[in-house]
Amino acid sequence: MYFSIIILLFLLLICFLFGFWRRHTAIKKVCSLSCEEKCSLLDSILAPFGYVYEPKQDIISTLNDAWQRKAGYTALFDRAALHFHMVFDALPIYFNYQGRTWLIEFWKGQYGINTGAEVGIYYADRILKKEEYDTAHFQAVEDCDRLHVTYTLLHGSHPLATVSGLTWWLTVFFVGMFSRPSQLAMDCVLCFPDGEMQECFLSALRQTASNVRFHCHGCKVHLYYEEGCPLSPICPDQISWFRKLRIRWAQFCNRLCCRLYCFLTRRFDCTLNKILYLYFLLPFALRRMLRHLKGVYS
């Protein structure tokens, strides 16, 4: 009996010492790298997942040639998101232009342990009926059809980050930050190639989300997307009590994981160092965290 207790204590001591050694080694590896080496290493880690690190704002964003581009979009992705602990508001705007049904969709919310937002631009290969929207597959627009998009993600009245580019999918993710979708807002500017496309988009926007504020300047549409849009997947008026319970559970897990991430990486103060520390210490945990950035594609 006593011998078994001694063996157990000895094994616990070995595990503690091994964990201490791994932590010390991981910290040493991170601190030994220059800033350029860190950015290069992190980008090589993120690239297979379709993402890139932006050091100026300490955020994760999207590569133009991300593999998700080939997957396109279907409404099933949004419906399945909760299964991956992704809790967000979504505003899809469908409109017809030049013989195709286009989709410009806005997302904001919690993606696992990441607070984030997205704008995606897609189209079908023909004009779709409205009853087909929920089942149709949309492809990401070709390079010649990308739009210039700029948006600022806000938490309450506090701006978190601003991203801009000629894009088919533009994202912002803050690793280790927890938010409720209702706390977030997107201040977004879309630049359309001509007045016809702009008017088609605006007509659909008025019908879909009459409470979204917007104004125009030339072929630019400046809109402010916050909460309460009618097609939001987490709109309280549209979901059952069971789905509300699932959302609460997902957010409880997300908040817990955010705190765990912050605790484990408390030695460092920026995303660059925190992620590299996890890469050296717990690579399996890092892979799981990155999949949550767009888990419905996994």
- Determine whether 7 is exposed, middle or buried from the number of CB atoms within 10 Å of its CB (0-12, 13-18, 19+): exposed
Q: Could you tell me whether strands 184-191 and 147-155 are parallel, antiparallel, or unpaired per DSSP bridges?
A: antiparallel
Q: Give the rounded distance of the alpha carbon of 123 from its chain centre.
A: 21
| pLDDT at position 290 | 66
CA distance 110 to 116: 6
Domain residue extents for the chain: 52-225
Q: Which two tokens stand for residue 250?
A: 């997902």
Written as one letter, the residue type at 24 is H
Cβ pair 54, 62 in contact under 8 A: no
Cβ within 8 Å of residue 115, ≥6 positions away: 109, 155, 160, 173, 174, 177, 178, 179, 184
Q: Which residues pair with 220 in a beta bridge?
A: 191, 217
Greatest Cα-to-Cα distance within the chain, rounded to the nearest angstrom: 83
Q: Give the rounded distance of the alpha carbon of 280 from its chain centre.
A: 24
CA distance 174 to 178: 9
Question: pTM (2 decimals)?
Answer: 0.87
Tens of each residue's pLDDT in the chain, 298 residues:
544 555 555 455 554 444 555 677 888 888 899 999 999 999 999 998 889 999 999 999 999 889 999 999 999 999 889 988 999 999 999 999 999 999 999 999 999 999 999 999 999 999 999 999 999 999 999 999 999 999 999 998 899 999 999 999 999 999 999 999 999 999 999 999 999 999 999 999 999 887 889 999 999 999 999 865 444 444 545 567 788 899 999 999 999 999 999 998 999 989 999 999 988 887 776 666 666 565 445 4
| pLDDT at position 38 | 93
| pLDDT at position 293 | 61
Tell me the per-residue pLDDT of 13-72, one tens digit each, with 9 for 90 and over.
Answer: 554 444 555 677 888 888 899 999 999 999 999 998 889 999 999 999 999 889 999 999
CA distance 216 to 211: 16
**Phi then psi dihedrals of residue 131, to 5 deg:** -70, -10
| pLDDT at position 203 | 95
Please calculate the CA angle 109-115-119 and round it to the nearest 5 degrees.
Answer: 60
